[in-house]
Amino acid sequence: MGIALGIDTGGTYTDAVFVTYPEGRVIAGAKALTTRQDLSQGIGAAIRAVFESAAAEGQPIQPSDITLVSLSTTLATNTLAEGQRGRVCLLLIGYDPALMQAYRFDRELATDDVVYLAGGHDVVGDEVTPLGNPVLAGRIRDINSYTNAAQVVRIKGALHELLQSVIPS
């Protein structure tokens, strides 16, 4: 038996839950406010809260007990479903464009404006593929990595620099 950590970032709250895996018994759950300006803050708060909740219920969980992590977002799904979208570019880190096309996953994306970048981490957060150049021909190219935010932070910096160059002060 393993412990799964499930995280869902919604429009108002970010939920976190510990569940036995694969049985599906809920050990503890917690909520934190979704922080739209920086989703990692709300995600971090929800994760801290679920660890505290498990301990308060007499079932403390250690990070080394976690065998599976799942991150989802209804925030993005709701935005699309409610028609609140504008023109977007999807950034994918660590995805193989040929495989995406071969299995027709590219047809399921919310936009045709997709940029692929090399990069990725293994399940414990160690970098296995260095991040590709995030700026190519004036466009930012691909994103992926939730076990280690280092590449995402670099993308954020590159996006900030790009936006500073194209948006007047």
Q: What is the span of the domain harbouring residue 105?
A: 87-166
How many angstroms separate the CA atoms of 121 and 119, rounded? 7
How many CA within 13 A on the CB side of residue 143?
A: 16
- 93 lies in the same domain as 160: yes
Q: Which residues pair with 69 in a beta bridge?
A: 5
How many angstroms separate the CA atoms of 154 and 159, rounded? 9
pLDDT score for 93: 80
User: What is the residue whose two structure tokens read 């990692």?
Assistant: 40
- 111 lies in the same domain as 141: yes
pLDDT score for 94: 84
Contact 34, 97 (CB under 8 A): no
pLDDT score for 47: 93
pLDDT digits (tens, 9 = 90+) for 93-107: 888 999 999 999 888
- 51 lies in the same domain as 119: no
Contact 120, 144 (CB under 8 A): yes
- 71 lies in the same domain as 106: no
- 99 lies in the same domain as 128: yes
Dmax (CA) of the chain: 55
Per-residue pLDDT of the chain (169 residues; tens, 9 = 90+): 789 999 999 888 999 999 998 788 999 999 999 988 788 889 999 999 999 999 999 999 998 899 888 888 887 667 666 766 556 667 788 889 999 999 998 888 877 778 788 888 887 778 888 877 655 434 443 344 444 556 666 766 766 666 665 554 4
How many structural domains are present in the chain?
2
pLDDT score for 79: 67
> How many residues can be counted in the chain?
169
- Sign for the pseudo-dihedral over CA of 30, 34, 35, 38: positive
- 74 lies in the same domain as 91: no
- 94 lies in the same domain as 116: yes
Per the prediction, the chain carries an average pLDDT of 79
The model's pTM is 0.52
**Element housing 15 (H / E):** strand 13-21
- 69 lies in the same domain as 6: yes
- 117 lies in the same domain as 138: yes
Which of 29, 53, 78 lies at the terminal end of a domain, its last residue? 78
Phi-psi region of 104 (alpha: psi -120 to 50; beta: other; left: phi over 0): left
pLDDT score for 48: 93
How many angstroms separate the CA atoms of 76 and 116, rounded? 19
- Sort strands 127-129 and 120-121 into parallel, antiparallel or unpaired: antiparallel
Which of 35, 51, 78 lies at the terminal end of a domain, its last residue? 78
Number of CB atoms found within 10 A of residue 138's CB: 8
Report the CATH number that the domain containing residue 18 is assigned in CATH: 3.30.420.40
